[in-house]
Structure 1
Amino acid sequence: MTANTMSKASVSAVESSRPSGLARLLRWLPSVLFILAGVLLFVSINQPYWGLVLQAPQYPGGLQMRVFVNNMTGDDDPRLDEVREIDGLNHYIGMKSLYEAAKLERSIAIPAVILMAVMLAVAAVWRRRWTWLLAVPAMLFPFIFLADLAYWMANFGQNLDPYAPLSSSIQPFVPPVLGEGVIGQFKTVAYVDTGWYIIITGSALILVGVLIRVVGMVRARG
């Protein structure tokens, strides 16, 4: 074998050992997806995650409540505090005040979102065998939010004050987290809002990133 042939063989071996463009893309894509998901988490903080419209005879236009990650508001009408109005109507059927719900969750919500974003950043830049697990809390966050909301709604609906003005006409119930519900003469429509759609988009990005990274690790080991 001549020196020229050996040189060509050496170059060919080096080139074949280099990862292809697709391989490099798949190597870095999870990190990009994790970073994007972290940005979406931050963006979601200022957006409502969930909303409720309550329709009652005395409120022809309905009352609206929007739930953010750490607080509740009505619509943008400064003349009416809609959350307190809904609270007052709930009082007649024996429900606890909305402000008593999820106190712990609301108090830690912003730090928790920041922590999940930091964990995503670590998972993005520190590509070790198990670091993808750091992305799992953020991936599950949209479903944890709805599950916690469902818990509190069921808790309030099932534990009515027996001495409330309308307690004799309202039986314990479970308010729907999504869709329509009827409670006595009140009708409610519940829906997920902008913030939740933002975090579920982030969750989908994380899922894709985790799958790519895990499959890549399995192939590298095999």
Structure 2
Amino acid sequence: MKKAGIIMIIGSLLLLGLFKFPLWNIVLGAPQYPDPLGMDIYIQGIQGVEEFDIQNIDGLNHYIGMKTIPKVEDMWEFSVFPKVIGLMVALGVIIGLLGFLGKVSYKWFLGWFIVMSILGLLGMYDFNLWLIEYGTDLDPKAIMKLLNPDGTPMTYKPPLLGYQKMLNFDVDSWPATGAYMIFAGMMLTVVAFFVGRYEYKKKVKTEPILKPALA
């Protein structure tokens, strides 16, 4: 399974892009901000798209009682996620090498994909929980206290994925470069599975022909 093993290794290594590129991007646009405010979410922390974006977002959030954008030390995810990604990259490379050497079945490639898919879903679930807390756990002493038409306090949870109108702000939340690299890497591991299965079946078919010839 040499070809499959190489594809598996390449797919796993693509996840290293998460240490360089943002995983997610949230942008806030409004008439008073000709240049939208944005933040890039990395597995190691959150940064503004422009130099003062985080500072400006925190300033706006202060008026409606939202928490400040968390720093690295404020969230356990920023210390755990890099370790998880590093472990999955190492595991994928090892499986790919063993597949290249014919030491493991092609089914291991699919197993890695399933584990990574579960971890990805858990990560998205955790991210959504953070957005909910961020947008609903408001300071009761906030300067502005806005209500919904039914009289309940207004919340400001950004969308997990897509577009949402929040007051006079247009909020967009979309995957960034790192997320696309994860997707590409995971799809390559699926390709590795099918290539490995094809190589295995081809080997099984040729073995009965080779054995009599060698006898």
Give the TM-score, by structure 2 length.
0.75
CA RMSD of aligned residues (A): 2.8
Mapping 1:144-159, distance limit 5 Å: 144-159=122-137
- Post-superposition shift, 1:176? 0.8
Map of 1:128 onto structure 2: 104
Question: 2 CA distance for matches of 1:203 and 1:116?
Answer: 11
Structure of higher RCO (CA pairs closer than 8 Å, 6+ residues apart): 2
Larger Rg: 1
Question: 2 CA distance for matches of 1:100 and 1:151?
Answer: 17
Q: Is structure 2 residue 166 aligned with structure 1 residue 194?
A: no
User: Gaps (5+ residues) in structure 1?
Assistant: 1-26
Percent identity (aligned)? 26
Report the secondary structure of 2:12's partner residue: helix
Map of 2:88 onto structure 1: 116
Contact 1:95 1:157 in 2 (8 A): yes
Q: Deviations over 1:8-56 (max 9, x none)?
A: xxxxxxxxxxxxxxxxxxx333312220112211133201111111123
User: Gaps (5+ residues) in structure 2?
Assistant: 148-152, 205-215
Q: Is structure 2 residue 65 aligned with structure 1 residue 82?
A: no
Map of 1:10 onto structure 2: none
Q: Which amino acid aligns with 1:146?
A: M
Contact 1:120 1:135 in 2 (8 A): no
Question: 2 CA distance for matches of 1:91 and 1:160?
Answer: 10
Map of 2:32 onto structure 1: 58
Question: 1 CA distance for matches of 2:126 and 2:201?
Answer: 35
Mapping 1:1-222, distance limit 5 Å: 27-75=1-49, 77=50, 80-99=51-70, 103-126=75-98, 127-129=103-105, 131-132=108-109, 133-169=111-147, 171-213=154-196
Give the TM-score, by structure 1 length.
0.73
218 and 97 in structure 1: CA distance in 2 versus 1, 3 angstrom threshold: farther
Contact 2:12 2:189 in 1 (8 A): no
